Structure 1
Amino acid sequence: MECSSPCSVNNKHIPPGLLEATAKHPCYSFGAHHKYARMHLPVAPKCNINCNYCNRKFDCLHESRPGVTSEILTPQSAEQKFRRVKAQIENLSVVGIAGPGDALANWETTKESIERVKAIDPEIIFCLSTNGLLLPEYYHEIISLGIKHVTVTVNCLNPEIGARIYGHILYKGKRYEGETGAAILIKNQLEGIRLLAENGVLVKVNIVMIKDINDFHIPDIVKKVKELGAFMTNIMPLIPAPGSAFENYQQTSMKELNKMRNQCQLHLHQMHHCRQCRADAIGLLGDDRAIEFAAETAGRIPAGTASGQGKKIYRIAVASKRGDLIDQHFGHASEFLIYDGNGRYFEMVETRRVDKYCSGAELCETEEDKKDAIADALKDCNAVLILRIGYQARQRLLKKGIVSIEHYGTVEEGLSFAVQKIEGKEAV
């Protein structure tokens, strides 16, 4: 079950003030994720490890996953952007640095960015994400900065498993591959978690669940990080990123993921509401507004009708809460905007309401009839254009002949992008 406030078997000695702050952190508290907004500052482009599931496209508006951003900020521009966001989002509670590379591999810019924001708003909650390779080196500086929330990604405890997940690491001027590199990384991750926890930092451990590589090993990871003092773990599904070594791997299904989370919940509190956010995410976890602050105005659909242009007309269902941005996950959409168009011109023909695909962790596994009904409601569409969609939902739509297209951007850009994808698939 979810906790409406921060909860963990490891929180007995956490000061009340820190628990109160954590209750306003949308990643650490389920009750906060629909009340409080966060802002990721993409000031850390360099990375010191090569994960086989990662492809860090910095200038990528079409994807919503960790490691991508539409811009890289300097500490000065990060300060300016924070001022803009703070002025427009009153419920902003957290500023985090989650890449697009590693926060500690870019420590000087990470540190300066935090100091600049802190000078503007000393009450803001700071957090950072790291692969943990440099934690033993920088943990004391993290503590000195007053950072109380750190996320460390730990995918294995065994170097043999690690050799299948990581291509190489860069550590103290040398490149290490295979089990040698994985062993160094694992040692530093575990030592860093212990050092942070012993000094009052709440550590969230992210684990990427990769079928047939580390899935069987995940309960052991959870037990180990609990022993080291971790506050909670967040088991996330593999997103097969195009261009990565794992691009052809099957995405972990929500059924498999929730089964693992429920199993590990017996040992340590689990995060169930993760959205695997971009490095430049802004707003609520379920309502990203980063595009509003990346450009002065959102694009508009060109005037004119879709018919009579001499090209095939496609019907595309768009998951958009605002109407101008693709800003919803498939599982959270209660209605879709239906467009007809040929790749250049589009017209919206209707707003089609559907029951929500997923209302919670348990319901996602049991409401098969509801899922089929939603797919049937969109059966006249060639494609569904969404911010994110799970593997099982993608396959269910595909059986109906509906292509699922993930896109991060405006509706205008997404519709043109969708037609390119559809025609590309038809040409194969």
Structure 2
Amino acid sequence: MSINFARSIEEKTFEHPCYNCIAHKYARMHIPVAPKCNVSCNFCNRKYDCINESRPGVTSEILSPKDARDKFKIVKNSVKNLTVVGIAGPGDPLANFEETRESIKLIKKECPDITFCLSTNGLMLPAYAGELVKLGVTHVTITINAVDPQIDAQIYKYVNYRGNTFVGVEAGKILLHNQLSGLRYLAGEGIVCKINIVMIKGINDAHIPEIVKKVKECGAYMTNIMPLIPVKGSVFGNRDTVDEYELADMRKKCGKYLKQMYHCRQCRADAIGSLDRDVSAQFRNYNKNITTIDKPEEIHKNDSGHRSYRFAVASSSGDYVDEHFGHVSEFYVYDVSDDDIKFREKRNVEMYCRGPQECSGHDDRISGVMKCIEDCNGVLVLRIGFEPVIKLHERGIRVFQMYSTIEEGIKRAVKLMGKCF
């Protein structure tokens, strides 16, 4: 007879990859059971649920609570390092509380000691925080992009609170009050709270240290400052994002006040696996046979015995890594040997992803892209979806997501491949 000793919140935090940067060996599963949302963010467009898009608010399916339980059982049997189940949308879990509650109950019945977490905009926290504690949720992420309603008014189009729609500063006041009061309650009950902050140039970037100081005062465990992802079709779709240096500088500045998260991947609402290796595409038809994509990394060597690499870079200008893999029309190809980075050539490709209506079922286009870069060891992109990641892995090609100059990006990729400059 096996005996199950319940793990403490400290142990669960240690094994939670989003709350502990050294927990990368552990896996999480996001269950997309919450399609409705009660806040309209200017940076969000949840209608674009393309399988080649990797960002919050995106999923390839919506599950019922029973479907989520059944899929969890299959994933748990296959992904042996699974420690966390999270609800991150694609809308807001508390705007879909019946589905959220039922999903937690069903999965807890299957696996009582699984760590349960959720991500919310915080609007309905005062109404449901007590129930979350009773359900055994131990980790909650709240997105708080301002602690000034005037700034919130620039970030949110509206909030729908208890059936009434509010806009502007009034919406900001309601949202902020509920976020902070919910945070105080959860922290007081011993729930580990992470605060997500989207860094938006010219709107809240100078304000972020004030957010961090305020949420620390209210009991937050850590903050996760993330770059804005300009999403086509959103109000901020054409807005500039911050580069990795600006982001790192802000995290360092705010690290004086509160623990910072440096390893966020801004995951989809149906993500499965470790943070650096999402395997959710394997489980889309989860009642079918599961295959794995493990493949040993190949190290190329030149004639003198030195390790060398070839990288394909998704760039719109030849200066920055700034293109989504599915939107690339040409790759910049670089060869690296020791500390020498040399531009080799540009290679034209047919754009793989042309929008949600044309993104799937076009194996001819993606095959052409794969053939174009099949001699490369790695590809540097701003964003990439799960289907091309799997196809690249199958060919032994590593994927590096980032926003940086090409030179710095290649240096970082080489370091991750096992060679430091």
How big is the shift at 1:107? 0.4
How big is the shift at 1:322? 5.6
Alignment match, 1:27 = 18
How big is the shift at 1:381? 2.8
- Cα distance in 1 for partners of 2:257, 2:350 equals 38
Q: What do residues 144-168 of structure 1 show as CA deviations (whole Å, max 9, x unaligned)?
A: 0111100000000111111110000
* 2:249 is aligned with 1:263: no
Q: Which of 125, 132, 145 is 2:122 aligned to? A: 132
Contact kept? 1:58, 1:70, Cα under 8 Å? no
| TM-score between both structures, scaled by the size of structure 2 | 0.72
- C-alpha spacing 1:298/1:77, structure 2 compared with 1 (3 Å): closer
Q: Which of 238, 242, 248 is 1:248 aligned to? A: 238
- C-alpha spacing 1:383/1:403, structure 2 compared with 1 (3 Å): farther
Q: What do residues 227-260 of structure 1 show as CA deviations (whole Å, max 9, x unaligned)?
A: 0110000000000011000000112111000000
Alignment match, 1:380 = 346
Amino acid at match of 1:280: D
Contact kept? 2:54, 2:386, Cα under 8 Å? no
Q: What do residues 145-196 of structure 1 show as CA deviations (whole Å, max 9, x unaligned)?
A: 1111000000001111111100000001100011111110011001110010
Q: What do residues 332-361 of structure 1 show as CA deviations (whole Å, max 9, x unaligned)?
A: xx76689xxxxxxxxxxxx99868xxxxxx
Amino acid at match of 1:408: G
Contact kept? 1:156, 1:214, Cα under 8 Å? yes
- Cα distance in 2 for partners of 1:277, 1:51 equals 17
Amino acid at match of 1:226: K
- C-alpha spacing 1:42/1:405, structure 2 compared with 1 (3 Å): same
- Cα distance in 2 for partners of 1:216, 1:168 equals 23
How big is the shift at 1:17? 2.2
Alignment length (residue pairs): 328
Structure 1: any 5+ residue segments left out of the alignment? 1-14, 300-319, 324-333, 339-350, 356-368, 388-401, 416-428
Amino acid at match of 1:31: I
- C-alpha spacing 1:353/1:224, structure 2 compared with 1 (3 Å): same
Helix, strand or coil at the partner of 1:63: coil
- Cα distance in 1 for partners of 2:33, 2:178 equals 23
* 2:260 is aligned with 1:294: no
Instruction: Report matched runs for 1:352-391 at 5 Å.
Output: 373=341, 376=343, 379-382=345-348
Alignment match, 1:220 = 210
- C-alpha spacing 1:173/1:96, structure 2 compared with 1 (3 Å): same
* 2:99 is aligned with 1:109: yes
- Cα distance in 2 for partners of 1:246, 1:321 equals 37
Q: What do residues 110-140 of structure 1 show as CA deviations (whole Å, max 9, x unaligned)?
A: 0100111101111110000000000011010
Alignment match, 1:144 = 134
Q: Which of 268, 271, 290 is 1:278 aligned to? A: 268
- Cα distance in 2 for partners of 1:96, 1:403 equals 28
| TM-score between both structures, scaled by the size of structure 1 | 0.71
Amino acid at match of 1:197: A
- Cα distance in 2 for partners of 1:216, 1:162 equals 14
Alignment match, 1:408 = 385
Contact kept? 2:92, 2:120, Cα under 8 Å? yes
Alignment match, 1:47 = 37
Amino acid at match of 1:38: R
Alignment match, 1:84 = 74
How big is the shift at 1:85? 0.5
- Cα distance in 2 for partners of 1:410, 1:231 equals 34
What is the root-mean-square deviation of aligned Cα atoms in Å? Answer: 3.2
Amino acid at match of 2:49: D
- Cα distance in 1 for partners of 2:57, 2:28 equals 17
Contact kept? 1:58, 1:72, Cα under 8 Å? no
Amino acid at match of 2:105: E
- C-alpha spacing 1:194/1:383, structure 2 compared with 1 (3 Å): farther
Q: What do residues 270-323 of structure 1 show as CA deviations (whole Å, max 9, x unaligned)?
A: 000000000000000010001000145899xxxxxxxxxxxxxxxxxxxx9869
Amino acid at match of 1:224: K
Amino acid at match of 2:73: R
- C-alpha spacing 1:383/1:158, structure 2 compared with 1 (3 Å): farther
Instruction: Report matched runs for 1:148-227 at 5 Å.
Output: 148-227=138-217
Amino acid at match of 2:113: E
Contact kept? 2:312, 2:380, Cα under 8 Å? no
Amino acid at match of 1:373: I
Amino acid at match of 2:219: G
- C-alpha spacing 1:414/1:175, structure 2 compared with 1 (3 Å): farther
Alignment match, 1:358 = none
Contact kept? 1:61, 1:407, Cα under 8 Å? no
- Cα distance in 1 for partners of 2:250, 2:167 equals 29
Helix, strand or coil at the partner of 2:53: coil
- Cα distance in 2 for partners of 1:297, 1:383 equals 33
Structure 2: any 5+ residue segments left out of the alignment? 1-5, 297-308, 314-332, 354-378, 393-421
Contact kept? 1:45, 1:72, Cα under 8 Å? yes
